[in-house]
Structure 1
Amino acid sequence: MTKVKVLVTGGAGFIGGNFVQYMVNKYPEYDIYNLDLLTYAGDLTKHNTIENKENYHFVKADIADREQIASLFIKEKFDYVIHFAAESHVDRSITEPEIFVRTNVIGTQVLLDASKQNKIKKFVHVSTDEVYGELDFDPTTFFTEETPLQPNSPYSASKASSDLLVRAYHETYGLPINITRCSNNYGPYHFPEKLIPLTISRVLNEQNVPVYGNGQNIRDWLHVIDHCSAIDLVMHEGVSGEVYNVGGHNERTNLEVVETIITTLGKSLDLIEFVKDRLGHDKRYAIDPTKLEKLGWRPTYTFETGIKQTIDWYLDNKEWWENIISGEYKNYFEKQYDLK
């Protein structure tokens, strides 16, 4: 019997990496291919527990390299593509927007072409709630799948562009697709430049924690494992052509998140340092995930249980994030694959 082949792009990143591990362990009968270019945030050390499993395969490749991607699809004949690969840090998009256009827009279009030409069963495009723009502070307002796209940063504009390309390939060519738009993720293996791991690592090192503006910007937090289960469901049960929002029902101000971490670690709130606000900093994100819940999904983590688990994970895995901060993780690929 031929195995189902699933290509996961960006599988050395945070969410993609957790999804790769989730799929490898849950579906031993599937072949899971992790495709990643290993740019600055790509870390393979997280996969040392699965890298010797028969159903796990790593491919180092650039999704914007048309020739490389085309030959890979012809060779492997994938059934599904789960597309995480993206430049995702808003601050970096403000200083280097061109990189985001190349990876997030051109890279997506290259993958869509290969998927169309090779008649895959489904292309699942993992997007973000940031494509909707921002909400005001009215707690009764939420993003739905019908909310107009109004991106406010080069990052979210590049993701909105890729969303529209994915939709167009479904409408024009009949490519089976789903688009998921998630709220802010957190959990194990989160790259240390992002708010929660940055706060944890700096607090443990007795360093000041920078908080933009007055810290009142609100985000809806989703544990990464809940996100993985949502994508799994959409991949198998999602209606082709549909968009599904994935939200955690866990709205917190950035200041509340930082204070929770500092307090949990038993440190002083004096470590908080307010800094100049980020350009185009959206006020609030909040998702209504009713459509996905009707498909059968529910989050299993509250913010309270999830943030405690995440803090405990960072305490138990200091070596991982210390290697990231020091840059040692960048040498893992060469060592693991005996490259010069």
Structure 2
Amino acid sequence: MPEGHTVHRLAAVFARGFGGQRVRTSSPQGRFSDAARLDGQVLLGAEAVGKHLFLPFAPSAEVDPADPSVRHVHVHLGLYGSWTFAGDPGFAGAHAIGAPRLRVGEREEESEGTVDWRRIVPRETVRLRIAGPRGLADLTGPTACEVLDAEGRQRVLDRLGPDPLRPDPDGSARRRFVEGIRRSRTTIGALLMDQKVVAGIGNIYRAELLFRARLDPFVPGRDLTAGMCEEMWEDLVALMAYGARTGRIVTTQPEHRQIEARIVERSRGTRQNGDEDPDVVPREESFYVYHRQTLPCRLCGTTVRSGEIAARTVFWCPRCQRVRSRRAGWTREHPAAPWALAV
């Protein structure tokens, strides 16, 4: 499932590729009947909140996004959803975002060479196609794809916790995060995956954030101090901002990357954007504990462990992550942030 930084990158792609343009919409799969009434409207832009994408449609580009006539296509990719793009050179800056998928028209390109994107026939699995003057986007396999009015959009937002990638000029998002953790008896490992506590965190950010904070994933949220939670929030904001900028999650310091540069791959592997680029940090060097169970910790050599919290696998180093409560004399000694480094 794409983590929050990926959805913010997706929103940026839509804003650049379609923002303010009149578009054609269709549902080749036939399961999104609302595509017909959106056809020919203007896509005003795009908004990401946690793992949710909102695409606002209006009769004209002059319509205020807050106008009651605006309808929002709400998309949650879930485990299997993906957007794939095709268009003029430089149109999207990405060929796919979401679960691994073939490029739009990839089969045709293999047999016939480069194909004009305007002639690409959508696959039968495409839930929604959006086509503009310079390119198109195909949505397949989403958990949610629906049209909402302003009230419906707000109901979705009301279910979500603060998003570290959205502006927080008055610090209210950070306060909500801190309060949501400290009032709960639930383990911090479970709270960080609860989208009502913080929107956009997935399993990678959860594991790496807790390692960097030296926190045991099984400590109850109410046992943490406000300072611990504030430091986690600040670290998370910067880590996810780096991810939104680069499309990659990298939490390791350069001097630690060659130490035990291995991960325990799943059958399909832990994929990141740009894995084929030799200039990016390889995924084997990107994480401290995520998918490194049974391997030595990069910092102390202790075997990294894995377990289950709320039906999801959690990864941690039992020696580095010994802090269990505010009574443990906690200090922030995690590695310097990779977003400030040349990665």
Q: Which bracket does the TM-score occupy, shorter chain normalised?
A: under 0.3
After TM superposition, the score normalised by the length of structure 1 is 0.25
Instruction: State the structure with more CA Rg.
Output: 2
After TM superposition, the score normalised by the length of structure 2 is 0.25
Q: Which has the higher contact order (CA 8 A, sep 6+)?
A: 1
